[in-house]
Structure 1
Amino acid sequence: MDNLTHGLLGLAVGALRRPDAAGGPLSATDKAVLLGCALAAELPDLDNLLPSENSVVHALQAHRGLSHALVFTPVVALAATAVAKAVFRTARVGPVFLFSLISVCLAHLLADLWTGWGTRVLLPFSDRRWTLDWTMVVDPWVTLPLLVGAVWAWRRRTVWRRALLVGAALSVAYLGLRVALQNVLSGRVREALPAAERVQVFPAWLSLTTWRYVALLPDEYVVGTASLGRAPIEERRWPRPVPDALPESVRNIPTVREALAWARFPLVSQVPRPDGASEIRIGDLRYHLNGEPTLQFILELNPEGALRAARLERGGSAAELLRRWRGQDR
């Protein structure tokens, strides 16, 4: 999830605690809880500052690594508590730590889980990426109620707690609606493609009722869109890559291995170049637009087969993606 939403969710978690004096001014502990919760909701993303050998390793290893794991949450909560205690020296440590711990779990780890990228919450015991696929990484309809609640709390400080909790309740209600739609549309795609081994639906840009889907058939992927009020629309079929689509020496390159492990519905290709080098493309059809993959890892190998460069492509500029989304791309 984006950092604005993380921070606003952290404030909402802080508002779950009853103030020390109901109806009175906030105590040092009340203020420290709010600050600690907001900090705890943001701190895990400091891993974005970690150095990496290339952008692919950064996206897949450095970010959403150990700082996003459950075993690391007490460390994040302690750091947030230490800062809040330094600002509000008379605050009680216990409530600040407890709610900071709840905040990092709910306002950051859970918020990342409900997006589609995947979060390795069980590190270092498991490298599996967990995801719920409820929303895009940026979803204004999650953020807007939280933002309005925060502005309302700031302008009308006598009702600050109610404002934050009402904003959070509206966001949670919206998420519940998305979960229900995900289940309904998954069922419709399964009915339309009864031979599918697996079906998954994924959020689409700026849309509540229209989702993208990928169905796994024995020899191919079927991709398209599913929405309320009409049957699923098939947009394209892609052949499933064979297990040995890449030589073992290439699959064992750490960056390649990470990209292959990340992709749930992979498209894999290797294109030779005249100089003896080659380019490997690893995409994932859960990120598709009109049936075409939008997000791909591009890995360049030198003539000796070693990794020369790696980058992440998102299918064009924001304007180009928006044009394709609207069906205006020619």
Structure 2
Amino acid sequence: MDNLTHGLFGLAIGALRPPDARPGGPERASPTDRAVLVASVLAAELPDLDTLLARGDAVTVALQAHRGLSHALVSAPLVALIATLAARALFRGARWTPVFLTSLASVVFAHLLPDLWTGWGTRVLLPFSDTRLSLDWTMVVDPWVTLPLLAGAVVAWRRRAAWRRALLVGFACSAAYVGLRVATWATLTQRVEATYASAEAVRVFPLPFSVGTWRYVATLPGGVFAAGDVPLAGPPVEARREPASEDVLPEDLRAVPTVREALAWARFPRVRLEPLPEGGWSIRIADLRYHLRGEPTLAFVIHLDADNTVRHAELERGGSPGELLRRWRGQGTAP
């Protein structure tokens, strides 16, 4: 998820802990109460510092450096410890145990879990497994996850006597929306599976700018991908059917670490290999799970020299947000 949503989730998780009883009413928060809220927000944000420390080409930064070891379950206690130490330095006298435990819950449930339920996924099992796991319930940026949390935070700021209730109501609304997405994902997956009874695998993915329509990719016998959209009401609508193209790359090109990382990211790869005029190769690796009407919108483009050294690498997003919106509405044609 985006950093705003991570932080708001962390704030809400901090509010789950009942405040200490204090003379003068709930507005007189104890040092522990304040430290818990601050540490929860910090713990929810700290894993993404790997973005600032990342080095390398665009593929390495996007796929390997970011959502790396700082996003692993084994690192959660360390992240919680750092957040706890920072919060206790700000609020002297805060009790160690509630601050640390709430921080740990914030790392797991405000950062790792939201990253896991997006389509992009994360590698929570590092260093034991490099597999990128994804539940495919929401996009990385989903306003219907964020807005209830943001509204709760705004109300909590303006009506401080009811700050905890406001945060918890926002959290409940956001959680209910995610629960609805899970139920929708399961229902639509069954519908696509019924349509493609011979499919070896079926996956359903969230569609940008849409709540009522999702994307799907079915892997058919012979390594053929069928991609399309499936609405809440109605049958799946297939937009494209094409064979898997990963095998167009010879083994020496597939062994290049940057290329290997992009191939590991693409669950339903569309690979294009072209020679460069000055020598070397241009490799374009897209993934059909990110498609609009069958045309991929995300692709990693890697230029290799004749000795297979990476000359240039970038992430293509299929156009500007306005162009993608026009394509989604059917006002433009796919390239």
Q: Same fold (TM over 0.5)?
A: yes
Please, which of 29, 32, 35 is the counterpart of residue 32 of structure 2? 29
Please, which of 101, 104, 108 is the counterpart of residue 104 of structure 2? 101
Deviation at 1:102, TM superposition (A): 0.6
Matched-pair identity in %: 64
> 2:207: which partner in 1?
204
What letter is aligned with 1:323?
Answer: R
What letter is aligned with 2:214?
Answer: W
> 1:271: which partner in 2?
274
Please, which of 139, 144, 152 is the counterpart of residue 141 of structure 1? 144
Please, which of 224, 227, 238 is the counterpart of residue 228 of structure 2? 224
Please, which of 316, 324, 330 is the counterpart of residue 327 of structure 2? 324
Asked if structure 2 preserves the Cα contact closer than 8 Å seen for 1:236 and 1:291, the reply is yes
In the alignment, structure 1 residue 52 sits paired with structure 2 residue 32: no
What letter is aligned with 2:124?
Answer: V
Q: Secondary structure at 1:26's aligned position in 2?
A: coil
Q: Which stretches of structure 1, 4 residues or longer, exceed 3 Å deviation after superposition?
A: none
> 1:8: which partner in 2?
8
Report the Cα distance in structure 2 between the residues aligned to 1:151 and 1:48, rounded to whole angstroms. 28
Range moving further from structure 2, 274-283 or 43-52: 274-283
Asked if structure 1 preserves the Cα contact closer than 8 Å seen for 2:189 and 2:204, the reply is yes
Asked if structure 2 preserves the Cα contact closer than 8 Å seen for 1:284 and 1:296, the reply is yes
What letter is aligned with 2:7?
Answer: G
> 2:19: which partner in 1?
19
Range moving further from structure 2, 224-233 or 36-45: 224-233
Asked if structure 2 preserves the Cα contact closer than 8 Å seen for 1:14 and 1:37, the reply is yes
Asked if structure 2 preserves the Cα contact closer than 8 Å seen for 1:275 and 1:303, the reply is no
What letter is aligned with 1:65?
Answer: G
Q: Secondary structure at 1:60's aligned position in 2?
A: helix
> 1:239: which partner in 2?
243
Asked if structure 2 preserves the Cα contact closer than 8 Å seen for 1:181 and 1:209, the reply is no
What letter is aligned with 2:202?
Answer: V
> 2:77: which partner in 1?
74
Residue pairs, 1:245-264, within 5 angstroms = 245-264=248-267
Q: Secondary structure at 1:32's aligned position in 2?
A: helix
Report the Cα distance in structure 1 between the residues aligned to 2:44 and 2:297, rounded to whole angstroms. 29
Asked if structure 2 preserves the Cα contact closer than 8 Å seen for 1:80 and 1:100, the reply is yes
Deviation at 1:278, TM superposition (A): 1.4
Please, which of 91, 94, 105 is the counterpart of residue 91 of structure 1? 94
Report the Cα distance in structure 2 between the residues aligned to 1:111 and 1:49, rounded to whole angstroms. 20
Q: Secondary structure at 2:198's aligned position in 1?
A: coil
Asked if structure 1 preserves the Cα contact closer than 8 Å seen for 2:217 and 2:288, the reply is yes
Report the Cα distance in structure 2 between the residues aligned to 1:92 and 1:305, rounded to whole angstroms. 56
Report the Cα distance in structure 2 between the residues aligned to 1:303 and 1:125, rounded to whole angstroms. 35
Report the Cα distance in structure 1 between the residues aligned to 2:94 and 2:277, rounded to whole angstroms. 67
Report the Cα distance in structure 2 between the residues aligned to 1:134 and 1:282, rounded to whole angstroms. 23
Report the Cα distance in structure 1 between the residues aligned to 2:295 and 2:94, rounded to whole angstroms. 54
> 2:304: which partner in 1?
301
Unaligned runs of 5+ in 2: none
Asked if structure 1 preserves the Cα contact closer than 8 Å seen for 2:217 and 2:227, the reply is yes
Deviation at 1:15, TM superposition (A): 0.6
Please, which of 116, 120, 123 is the counterpart of residue 117 of structure 1? 120
Report the Cα distance in structure 1 between the residues aligned to 2:130 and 2:156, rounded to whole angstroms. 40
Q: Secondary structure at 1:89's aligned position in 2?
A: coil
What are the Cα deviations for residues 249-302 of structure 1, in whole angstroms up to 9, with x where unaligned?
111100011111111111112111233321001111110011100100101011
In the alignment, structure 1 residue 194 sits paired with structure 2 residue 221: no
Report the Cα distance in structure 1 between the residues aligned to 2:162 and 2:133, rounded to whole angstroms. 37
What are the Cα deviations for residues 48-80 of structure 1, in whole angstroms up to 9, with x where unaligned?
012322111000111000000011111111111
Report the Cα distance in structure 1 between the residues aligned to 2:136 and 2:54, rounded to whole angstroms. 28
Superposition RMSD in Å: 1.1
Unaligned runs of 5+ in 1: none
Alignment: residue pair count = 329
Using a 3 Å threshold, how does the CA distance of structure 1 residues 314 and 18 change in structure 2: closer, same or farther? same
Q: Secondary structure at 2:93's aligned position in 1?
A: coil
Report the Cα distance in structure 2 between the residues aligned to 1:143 and 1:189, rounded to whole angstroms. 29
Asked if structure 1 preserves the Cα contact closer than 8 Å seen for 2:256 and 2:308, the reply is no
Report the Cα distance in structure 2 between the residues aligned to 1:189 and 1:123, rounded to whole angstroms. 32
Deviation at 1:304, TM superposition (A): 2.6
Asked if structure 2 preserves the Cα contact closer than 8 Å seen for 1:11 and 1:34, the reply is yes
Report the Cα distance in structure 1 between the residues aligned to 2:163 and 2:122, rounded to whole angstroms. 32
Deviation at 1:196, TM superposition (A): 1.0
Report the Cα distance in structure 2 between the residues aligned to 1:206 and 1:298, rounded to whole angstroms. 25
What letter is aligned with 1:232?
Answer: P
Range moving further from structure 2, 267-276 or 171-180: 267-276
